[in-house]
Amino acid sequence: MGTAVFMVLMVCGYWYTSRDLSTRFKFKRTFGWDVYFLVALYGCIFVLQGLVATALIWFVLFVASGIMNLTSYSLADRYHHMQMDFINWSFLGIQAPVVIMLTLAVIFCIYRSNWAGSARLNSAGRKELYKRLTHSNGVEGLLFQCMEEGHLAWITLKSRRIYIGMVHTASFENSATANVVIVPMLSGYREGKSMSLCIEHNYSAWYDEHEISLDSSPRSAMDFRKVIMVEQIESLSLFDAASATALSIEQDARSL
């Protein structure tokens, strides 16, 4: 019986953490032993809910037995003890209350994972949830700020390559494939000795010259997006358009 309770506890915990949107974000950001404790925590919550529901069933039967014993339903000296019959009832060699408790725990888990309102967040709810979760991570918080407010991001790679552009999406659910997708406006590199910035490509000017925007047709700026693996990023900061223009002018002056 203890094995059955433990299996249901762990299965419910894993099902919920891998299906519920807000919990899945936390689960993907958890490592090591914390993963097992997080799964066990939510599993315990569902098993306790099943235990409380089973206790309510027992209490309803207790009240019903008392009412029946006080009315004409009681025959002679025979009294009703439905709550005791419920406790002593067995199913396949296992006490029925335990089976009912585990069944209710599974039902509560499935409901919370698939049909509850918190499991079906709209776009505004997802945005608010992601904003709350990114407060604890500087990289994710800055990327979310860029996406929300339209700021340009300055991304320096470990190879000294630099990209300045609009952040389109960022994925951190899997540490092995965590990446940032940007629409580049400027790109270049840092010199080996002076570490000064050298602009190689001015995507912004090229977009303007060819009348390309984010929603233009047949080609849009999204066709030039870059996917950067997070593990390749050395530093990340905000960057404004005025600074980008100044750098472009300075680079053109050096080339004369």
| Three-class SS state of 55 | helix
End-to-end Cα distance, the chain: 83
d(CA 168, CA 182): 5
d(CA 154, CA 156): 7
48-63: average pLDDT: 89
The token pair at 31 is 């490592």
pLDDT for 76-124, tens place per residue?
Answer: 556 667 777 777 777 666 677 888 888 898 888 888 877 655 555 555 6
> Confidence class of residue 152 from pLDDT cuts 50, 70 and 90?
confident
CA distances in angstroms from 204 to 152, 185, 245, listed in the order given = 12, 5, 10
Domain regions of the chain by residue span: 2-119, 125-255
pLDDT for 32-46, tens place per residue?
Answer: 677 788 888 888 998
pLDDT value at residue 21: 64
The alpha carbon torsion through 70, 71, 77, 83 (nearest 10 deg) reads -60
| Three-class SS state of 218 | coil
d(CA 39, CA 193): 50
| Contact indicator for 20, 112 with CB cutoff of 8 Å | yes
Beta bridge partners of 238: 153
pLDDT for 154-199, tens place per residue?
Answer: 888 888 888 988 888 877 766 677 888 888 888 888 776 766 778 8
Closest CA to 105 of 56, 61, 44, 59: 44
- Whether pTM > 0.75 for this model: the answer is no
Q: What is the residue type of 14? A: Y
C-alpha 141: how far from its chain's center? 14
CA dihedral sign, ordered 79, 84, 86, 88 = negative
Radius of gyration of the chain (CA): 30
Domain 125-255 fold: SH3 type barrels. (2.30.30)
